[in-house]
A and B are shown apart, each in its own frame.
Chain A
Amino acid sequence: MLNFISVHLAINYSLLAFVTIVGALQLVAARHKLVGLALIGTVRRPAWGYLLAIILIAGSFAWFFATTPEVFVPGLAGAELAVLFTTAGICALVFTLFVSSILHRVQRQERSDLTGEGRLSHKPVSLQLLRGTLYLPDDGADAPRPAICVLPDSSERTLLSYPLVAALIEEGFIVLAVDWGPQEEIHYPAVLGLLPSAVAYLTRRDDVDPERIGVLGVDLGGDLAIRSAATDQQIAAVLALAPFLDRANTQPGLGILKEMSYLEALCWARFRQRGKLVAELSPLDSIGQLGSRPWLLVYGDRDAVTPVEGARVALGGEMTRGKVKTLPGEEHLSLARSPAASVLVARWFGENL
Chain B
Amino acid sequence: MSFDFQLFQLINNLAGRNPILDGLMCLLVNDYFLTTSMSLILVAFWFEGQDRGQRERNQKAVLRAIVTLFIANILLKLCNLVYFRPRPFVGHEVNLLFYRPTDSSFPSNPATVGFSLTVAVWLYHRRLGALLLALATLFGLSRVYCGVHYPSDIVAGALLGGLSAYLVVRKGSLFDPLISLIIRTGRRLYLA
- Residues of chain A touching chain B, judged by Cβ–Cβ distance below 8 Å, are 13, 16-17, 20-21, 23-25, 27-28, 31-32, 34, 36-37, 57, 61, 64-65, 71-76, 78, 81, 85, 89, 93, 251-257, 262, 265-266, 269, 307
Distance of A17 Cα from B37 Cα, bound (Å): 10
| A70: min CB distance to chain B, Å | 10
| B153: min CB distance to chain A, Å | 16
Distance of A57 Cα from B37 Cα, bound (Å): 9
**Hey, which chain B residues are within 8 Å of A36, CB to CB?**
190
Q: How many of B's residues come within 8 Å of A, CB to CB?
A: 31
| B71: min CB distance to chain A, Å | 14
**Hey, which chain A residues are within 8 Å of B49, CB to CB?**
32
Known: A72-B99, A253-B187, A254-B187. A34 touches B27 (CB 8 A): no
Within 8 A of A (CB), among B1-42: 26-27, 30-33, 35-36, 39-40
Known: A72-B30, A252-B190. 17 other contacts (CB 8 A): A28-B44, A28-B48, A31-B48, A32-B49, A61-B36, A64-B32, A71-B30, A78-B109, A78-B113, A81-B32, A81-B35, A85-B36, A251-B187, A253-B190, A253-B192, A256-B190, A269-B190
Within 8 A of A (CB), among B152-192: 186-188, 190-192
Judge whether B43 and A34 touch: CB under 8 Å.
Answer: no
Q: Which of A31, A57, A256 contacts B40 (CB 8 A)?
A: A57
| A232: min CB distance to chain B, Å | 34
| B157: min CB distance to chain A, Å | 13
Q: Which of A16, A23, A27 contacts B32 (CB 8 A)?
A: A16
Is B52 interfacial (CB 8 A cutoff)? yes
**Hey, which chain A residues are within 8 Å of B31, CB to CB?**
71, 75-76, 78, 81
Q: Can you give 9 contacting A-B residue pairs, CB < 8 Å?
A: A24-B43, A31-B48, A72-B30, A78-B109, A93-B191, A253-B52, A253-B187, A253-B191, A269-B190
Judge whether A253 and B27 touch: CB under 8 Å.
Answer: no
- Residues of chain B touching chain A, judged by Cβ–Cβ distance below 8 Å, are 26-27, 30-33, 35-36, 39-40, 43-44, 47-52, 55, 73, 98-99, 101, 109, 113, 186-188, 190-192
Q: Which of A17, A64, A74, A254 contacts B55 (CB 8 A)?
A: A254
Q: Which residue of B lies closest to A17 (CB)?
A: B36
Distance of A254 Cα from B191 Cα, bound (Å): 5
| B117: min CB distance to chain A, Å | 12
Most chain B CB within 10 A, of A13, A17, A24, A73, is at A24
Known: A256-B190, A262-B190. A72 touches B98 (CB 8 A): yes
Judge whether B47 and A72 touch: CB under 8 Å.
Answer: no
Judge whether B187 and A307 touch: CB under 8 Å.
Answer: no
Distance of A184 Cα from B43 Cα, bound (Å): 38
Q: Which residue of B lies closest to A266 (CB)?
A: B190
Judge whether B47 and A28 touch: CB under 8 Å.
Answer: yes
